[in-house]
Amino acid sequence: ETGVTQTPRHLVMGMTNKKSLKCEQHLGHNAMYWYKQSAKKPLELMFVYNFKEQTENNSVPSRFSPECPNSSHLFLHLHTLQPEDSALYLCASSQVPRDSPLHFGNGTRLTVT
Amino acid sequence: AQSVSQHNHHVILSEAASLELGCNYSYGGTVNLFWYVQYPGQHLQLLLKYFSGDPLVKGIKGFEAEFIKSKFSFNLRKPSVQWSDTAEYFCAANNAGNMLTFGGGTRLMVKP
């Protein structure tokens, strides 16, 4: 049990589908993150929310749309994705300040067909 | 741009061998350094971190890392690896208050 729960664990979607990834943290943290982990590439930071406010958008295409309704929940809404978006999407949380270590979920393995 | 480099992408060792995984960063000023580990089928978790003070940092499971400022390095070491250390290891760095940048990861396989 990591304290950060991601659902679903696996997702296969077509390029015209709309789906959402969910993340929930039970650690009382106030910062949440989405990372993308692709084969043979470093972990890529996508979005950061501090106290429900988005503070970072790392040049992510608009087909990825984050939502943070409260400090414990984070969503990543997906639409009209491309096959190259297939990757492991990791949610993490931490205390503010950002120097605090990240706590990661198990990730959602996304395959776009 | 700030970056973190891990030179070894794959490492294969026999049990009881010594381990050293390289990590170099390109940050100026005060830097925070981390090693994360991802065991097969599990989530990324913190192995150890350096903020300030003693440049030799002890982490969990017998791992340690040494911050050498002059070399911009934060190499991970373990004197004697076990089969259960098979995992992917990620080095990460940031300046105070800024986002973490991760290295590309090193896959370690320990043969029994």
A56 with B102: Cβ contact below 8 A: no
pLDDT above 90: residue A51: no
pLDDT above 80: residue B53: yes
pLDDT above 70: residue A1: no
> Which chain A residues are closer than 8 Å to B97 by Cβ?
97-99
A56 with B99: Cβ contact below 8 A: yes
B100 with A42: Cβ contact below 8 A: no
B104 with A42: Cβ contact below 8 A: yes
> Which own/partner pairs from B10-14 qualify as long-range (CB within 8 Å, at least 24 positions apart)?
B10/B106, B10/B107, B10/B109, B11/B106, B11/B107, B11/B108, B11/B109, B12/B108, B12/B109, B12/B110, B12/B111, B13/B81, B13/B108, B13/B109, B13/B110, B13/B111, B14/B110, B14/B111
Across-strand partners of A66? A76
At B40, is the secondary structure helix, strand, or coil?
coil
Asked if B46 reaches chain A (Cβ–Cβ under 8 Å), the answer is: yes
For residue A74, give every residue at least 6 positions away whose Cβ sits within 8 Å of its Cβ, in sequence order, or none.
A22, A23, A24, A25, A32, A34, A49, A66, A67, A68, A91
* Chain A to chain B Cβ contacts (< 8 Å): 51
CA angle A6, A36, B28 (to 5 degrees): 120
| pLDDT for A95 | 87
* pLDDT tens, position by position, B5-50: 998 899 999 999 999 999 999 987 888 999 999 999 888 999 999 9
Asked if B75 reaches chain A (Cβ–Cβ under 8 Å), the answer is: no
Rg (CA), chain B: 13
Q: Give the one of A48, A98, A104 whose C-beta lies nearest to B94's C-beta.
A: A98
| pLDDT for B61 | 93
> Which chain B residues are closer than 8 Å to A4 by Cβ?
43
* Averaged pLDDT score across all residues of chain B: 93
pLDDT tier at B97 (50, 70, 90 boundaries)?
low
pLDDT tier at B92 (50, 70, 90 boundaries)?
very high
CA distances from residue A53 to A56, A57, A66, B49 in whole angstroms, order as listed:
9, 11, 11, 27
At A85, is the secondary structure helix, strand, or coil?
helix
What are phi and psi for residue A8, nearest 5 degrees? -75, 170
Chain A, nearest residue to B98 by Cα: A98
